[in-house]
Amino acid sequence: MAGRRIGIIIPDPNGPVYYKGWYHLFYQYNPDSAVWGNITWGHAVSEDLIHWFYLPIALVPDHWYDANGVWSGSATLLPDGRLAMLYTGSTTDSVQVQNLAFPADPTDPLLRSWVKHAANPVLLPPPGVHPKDFRDPTTAWRVVVDDDDDGDAAWLVAIGSKNDSRRRHAGIALVYRTVDFVHYELLPGVLHEVEGTGMWECVDFFPVATTQSTAGLDSSTPAAPGVKHVLKASLDDDKHDYYAIGTYDATRNAWTPDDPESDVGVGQRYDYGKFYASKTFFDPTKKRRVLWGWIGETDSERTDLAKGWASLQGIPRTVVFDRKTGSNLLQWPVEEVEKLRLDGKEFANITVAAGAVVPLDVGKATQLDIVAEFTVNESALANTIEADIGYNCSTSNGAAGRGALGPFGLLVLADRERSEQTAVYFYVGRRPDGSIGTHFCQDELRSSAASDLVKRVYGSLVPVLDGETLSLRIMVDHSIVESFAQGGRRCITSRVYPTRAIYGAARLFLFNNATAGDITCKSLKVWPMDSASIRPFDEQYRSSATKLGPTQRGYQRKFFI
């Protein structure tokens, strides 16, 4: 993999921001080992979110208030162009506190040096909150203070916690008000809480446009007609990222989900695979909201130590409101990733019989961008009486199972004999009420011959509207598979470790394991992918990332290994 560093672990993305012509990503980083510990902030910059430069470590645990780790945090750009970075520190007594850092030289677009504020810690756990349950401040958002005669603006910031006293094991988001990022006032109540969800980590809170605009919104965009707010939490209990869409009332310090049955922690997830501790930021250059997520390992810690690295960052994704369903977000790889596409191949109207597997001649298949559309045999759909309302991707037999209308889809990172394969597929079932339910799944059960892996089948139901074909986009990168169904209504990320389906031995197949009839791959486009440039920063290479040839690059991302 490109940019590999020996003996490191790289978890949560932190403080993503666009500053003076550069995209910045900070990240949890252990420079000494491939296991958790000695957490500092690594730092990388890019001009296009694809080609990256490593910079020196940004923040290290060197004060009593962060001696046990510089943990997760967020960046806020102030109206005058200054940058405030809030992060959680674990003190010498393992108390979680919030700290402020700022650029030592605000004129440096690369932000290569940071200063911790003399007032740190700027926030301590409030009464009633356990000292180890107070972490991960959000990007701040600006509001007008109604009770100030002069209409001054203040900033609000949310911090994750839990409440085990009043409501059983409830995850909560606390909100603080500040005007200078040094002094804070805890607002009454909580922004939101959900019983039974446990500790909320890496809370994120941002507005989305629900009207015709597909642009992202700055975090300080107020609640108004045509604007909803997304509340996301990473659940410490199950290590998944959940979100819900709702209405924000700043005067009451309250956010209410549109659908209480699909609340934070009990409803929709950003990603149904290996994806956690995510963070968004607003990109002012392209008016979009961009999502980063941490992809952890599923092999053993012993293997991570032997290979010398662990964890990666996923491809950055744009996030918009799905106006067609009105109930979920759409996530999609940033458009810049398409610059890595090489000459591809197109296929059309491939019929795949029940029980068949169709090889696809696409050349080297270790780094691919795949876009596909499927249609189901109409007579099979009309005649099937199978009631699969109880179908569940995670408890199924994966691609090896057989139902009337599924599974069918693509086998990626497969060797010629398919002894190794990762299956990305749909499973269509008719419910007792006659409606159709479509599942989108990703099967790792045969992804590798390695014996020390946790292998799962991931997935969920995906909304499919009348007249829509079943559509997939799959990003394949050696040992990562990131898949997007129905334009990004559902996403699944798998960390796989093929031992045979590597380099020139990797193949791509269509498959149909349904019993009721043929399926048709209406269209299929497959692009081999070039590799991103990921290297230490050197002034002579500034702005040259896109000019590098394939032989000058390592394998495509993942960005920080």
**Do you find a cis peptide bond into 121, omega within 30 degrees of 0?**
yes
- Note if 12 is an active site residue: yes
**557 and 315 Cβ atoms separated by less than 8 Å:** yes
Task: Tell me the C-alpha distance between 104 and 115, whole Å.
Answer: 5
Task: Tell me the C-alpha distance between 89 and 99, whole Å.
Answer: 7
How many residues does this entry show for the chain? 561
Task: Tell me the C-alpha distance between 85 and 487, whole Å.
Answer: 33
CA distances 226 to 208, 246, 274, 324, 527, Å, are: 8, 12, 32, 14, 37
What are residue 522's phi and psi, to 5 degrees? -65, -45
The three-class DSSP label of residue 321 is: strand
- Please state, as a whole number, how many other Cβ atoms lie within 10 Å of the Cβ of residue 324: 14
Contacts 24+ apart (CB under 8 A), 17-23: 17/75, 17/77, 17/83, 17/281, 18/281, 18/283, 18/284, 18/285, 19/77, 19/83, 19/109, 19/111, 20/109, 21/47, 21/109, 22/46, 22/47, 22/109, 22/110, 23/47, 23/48, 23/49, 23/283
**546 and 339 Cβ atoms separated by less than 8 Å:** yes
Termini Cα distance of the chain: 7
**439 and 425 Cβ atoms separated by less than 8 Å:** no
- CA 22 from centre of chain: 21
What are residue 272's phi and psi, to 5 degrees? -95, 10
**Among the options 12, 322, 369, 443, which is catalytic?**
12
Both tokens of residue 178?
């500040």
User: Residue 100 pairs with which residues in a beta bridge?
Assistant: 86
**178 and 158 Cβ atoms separated by less than 8 Å:** no
Task: Tell me the C-alpha distance between 28 and 41, whole Å.
Answer: 5
Enzyme catalytic residues: 12
